[in-house]
Amino acid sequence: MKSPNTSTSKRSPAKLFFVGIIVILIALVVWGAYASNKAKPNYAEEAAKPLEAALVKAGAVKKCSAGDTGFGPDNKKPYYNATFETNLNKDDAIKLAEQVAGSEGYKLES
């Protein structure tokens, strides 16, 4: 009866080099796609800047934001959202949001 081959197979240095080059090329392509998407402007974020400035001027505090340029494989349209905090009550906060949006030519609807 033959015993199973327990030795590990040896890979040639040329094979390892080739595999290494392929891995590096794939990493460069993925990084390049990510970097080129981030280098493009997010038009939705640019449109929101005057609104954000007006909210901050009125005393609101920006807590976080997120968005995408819309040029990636998973997003076809740019988007942007931001969260603000204020000490105003609900009705006054709604009035402030409507006033700021109106001053920039937007009409909010509920």
DSSP structure class, residue 107? -
Asked if residue 107 lies in contact with residue 71, where contact means CB atoms within 8 angstroms, the answer is no
The pLDDT value given to residue 70:
86
pTM (predicted TM-score): 0.63
* Cα distance between residue 34 and residue 105, in whole Å: 34
Q: Can you give the pLDDT of all 110 residues of the chain as single tens digits?
A: 555 555 555 678 888 888 999 999 999 888 877 666 667 889 999 999 999 999 999 999 999 999 988 887 777 899 999 999 999 999 999 999 999 999 999 999 87
CB atoms inside a 10 Å sphere around CB 75? 13
The pLDDT value given to residue 8:
54
Going from N- to C-terminal start, the domains of the chain cover 12-40, 42-103
